[in-house]
Amino acid sequence: MAQFCEPRHLDSDAVEIEVEGDLMHNPGRIGAITVKVALPVELDEDRLKALLRTVSHCTIHNTLTAAPDIRVHVETPVAAISGGSGSATATRERPEPQWR
């Protein structure tokens, strides 16, 4: 929000953001995300469009709309794997999700 507020001399600390998610099943996931932005000032149409552009280009929005690779590393004692001591890492990468 600072990217939007600072050039317009708005106090970004006064901005309130609320995020809600709709849980889905089979597979368990968040099916929809709603972001509510409350500003301490009114915006004209041009500033509203600028705010929406800023939000749609933020790092979190970009990450959620272009799913990242997810890497899961599981560490267990070697003893659990081969009877020895120490640690080992097993890695399994999840395939990229197919968005519809």
Question: Largest Cα–Cα distance in the chain?
Answer: 68
Domain ranges in the chain are 2-66, 69-100
- What Cα–Cα distance (Å) separates residue 68 from each residue in 63, 88, 96? 6, 25, 8
Q: pLDDT value at position 38? A: 92
**pLDDT tens profile 39-62:** 888 999 999 999 999 888 889 999
88 or 31: which carries more pLDDT confidence? 31
Q: Using a cut of 0.85, tell me whether the model's pTM lies above it.
A: no
- Does the domain at residues 2-66 carry the CATH identifier 3.30.300.20? yes
Whether residue 37 contacts residue 20, with contact meaning beta carbons closer than 8 Å, is answered with no
